């Protein structure tokens, strides 16, 4: 006999003297993706809000721009932290919608004046991000850099465009260039594809069905070098291999990634319920007793979480096979 699961929610605003807690929002929508600089959330408030009339305040006066907000929810009184960030927008109409961005919103605004004849990525980021932890890809030499009268956000966008390295926040830690968490201590959660899922948008591809073209880019002695393998007319992958110091090394890396893509597997997304909690970068194990040959571990590229009248649903977008 299944146990009844009752939704529990707490939205706290420790710096707001008017509203400290919200326990019954209409809905919450959260988006995280390693390819996006900012993680985002949106809170939809109930239509029958009497608070503003009693206080004689507008929503924007209550939910001020830049106000810190912590969101926790779960089942049966178990409140699990799901998002922490800052208010970036409040809708003009009802139902009231409050837009949020994570800690990157605050970090990205820090001013930057930095120059060096030669610097490693990790060293530069630690210098321009005081007060934050930095976990950056090691071995990336940026060479000569000069950033004047700019911001951390603009620098991170420049790193992405020039080196193909994505940045995002994990709490108050800046992650740069590390797409997937590969910590052996992290638990790999299991999803049985034969049982009921909230949503199943997965498509299985055999290796023969996959047409792909992989392009690899690097810089060798200040010169851009590219190598590609595969076939035109299919999925295109454009990767940066900044640690490839020769054409031979670049070829090895491109061929290895091409082989991973061609070995087949699931692509698309699937919907899980509210527990366990998933985050992008971790691994998930997909099992099936109907199709045991399709089982395997996959990386998660993005997670969208919805809280509302239909319960809690996490949509996982799968990346490559782990």
pLDDT digits (tens, 9 = 90+) for 233-244: 878 888 878 777
Which ranges constitute the DSSP H helices of 129-193?
152-163
Q: Which of 155, 169, 150 is nearest to 86 (CA)?
A: 169
Sole residue written with tokens 């991000």:
129
Q: In 3-state terms, the chain is what percent helix, strand and coil (to 5)?
A: 15, 45, 35
Reduced to 3 states (helix: H, G, I; strand: E, B; else coil), residue 127 is helix
Return d(Cα 183, Cα 274) in angstroms, integer.
23
CA distances from 163 to 155, 168, 240 (A): 12, 15, 6
Q: Give me the pLDDT at residue 2, please.
A: 53
Q: Count Cβ atoms within 10 A of the Cβ of residue 113 and give its class: 0-12 exposed, 13-18 middle, 19 or more buried.
A: exposed
Q: Measured between alpha carbons, how far is 260 from 235 in angstroms, rounded to an integer?
A: 14
Look at residue 177 and give its three-state secondary structure.
Answer: coil
Q: How confident is the model at residue 303 (pLDDT cuts 50, 70, 90)?
A: very high
Q: Is the pLDDT reported for residue 69 higher than 60?
A: yes
Per-residue pLDDT at 184: 47
Task: Name residues whose C-beta falls within 8 Å of residue 29's C-beta, 6 or more positions apart in sequence.
Answer: 41, 42, 44, 304, 305, 306, 307
Give 84's strand partners. Answer: 70
CA distance 282 to 303: 11
pLDDT higher than 50, residue 1: no
Host H or E run for residue 10:
strand 7-12
Q: Mind listing the pLDDT tens digit for each residue in 90-141?
A: 998 888 999 999 999 999 999 999 999 989 999 999 999 999 999 998 888 8
Identify which of 37, 71, 107 has the alpha carbon closest to the alpha carbon of residue 277.
Answer: 71
Going by their DSSP bridges, the two strands 265-273 and 283-287 should be labelled as unpaired
Q: In this prediction, what percent of the chain has a pLDDT beyond 90?
A: 52
DSSP SS3 for 121? helix
Q: What is the pLDDT of residue 263?
A: 81
Whole-prediction pTM:
0.88
Which range has the top average pLDDT, 108-117, 154-163, 264-273?
Answer: 108-117
Please give the backbone phi and psi of residue 165, each rounded to the nearest 5 degrees, phi first.
-105, 120
Can you give the pLDDT at residue 185? Answer: 54
Mean pLDDT score across all residues of the chain: 88
> CA–CA separation, 264 vs 270, rounded Å?
17
């Amino acid at each position: 006999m299944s146990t009844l699961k009752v939704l529990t929610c707490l939205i706290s605003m420790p710096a707001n003297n008017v509203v400290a807690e919200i326990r019954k929002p209409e809905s919450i929508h959260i988006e995280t993706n390693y390819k996006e600089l900012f993680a985002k959330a949106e809170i939809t408030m109930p239509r029958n809000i009497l608070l503003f009339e009693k206080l004689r305040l507008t929503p924007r006066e209550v939910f001020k721009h830049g106000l810190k907000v912590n969101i926790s929810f779960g089942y049966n009184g178990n409140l699990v932290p799901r998002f922490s960030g800052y208010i970036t927008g409040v809708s003009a109409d009802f139902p009231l919608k409050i837009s949020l961005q994570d800690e990157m919103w605050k970090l990205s605004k820090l001013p930057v004046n930095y120059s060096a004849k030669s610097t490693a990525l990790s060293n530069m980021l630690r210098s321009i991000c005081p007060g934050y932890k930095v976990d950056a890809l090691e071995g990336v030499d940026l060479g000569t850099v000069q950033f004047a009268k700019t911001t951390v956000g603009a620098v991170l966008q420049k790193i992405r465009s020039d080196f193909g390295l994505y940045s995002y926040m994990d709490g108050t830690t800046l992650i740069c260039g590390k797409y997937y968490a590969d910590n052996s201590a992290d638990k790999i959660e299991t999803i049985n594809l034969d049982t009921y899922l909230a949503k199943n948008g997965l498509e299985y591809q055999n290796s023969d069905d996959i047409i792909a073209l992989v392009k690899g880019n690097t810089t060798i002695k200040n010169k851009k070098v590219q190598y590609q393998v595969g076939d035109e007319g299919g999925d295109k992958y454009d990767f940066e291999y900044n640690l490839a110091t020769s054409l031979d090394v670049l070829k090895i890396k491109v061929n290895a990634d091409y082989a991973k893509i061609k070995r087949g597997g699931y692509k698309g997304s699937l919907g899980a319920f509210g527990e366990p909690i998933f985050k992008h970068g971790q691994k998930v194990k997909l099992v099936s007793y109907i199709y045991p040959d399709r089982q395997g571990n996959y990386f998660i590229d993005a997670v969208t979480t919805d809280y509302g009248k239909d319960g809690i649903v996490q949509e996982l977008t799968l990346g490559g096979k782990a």
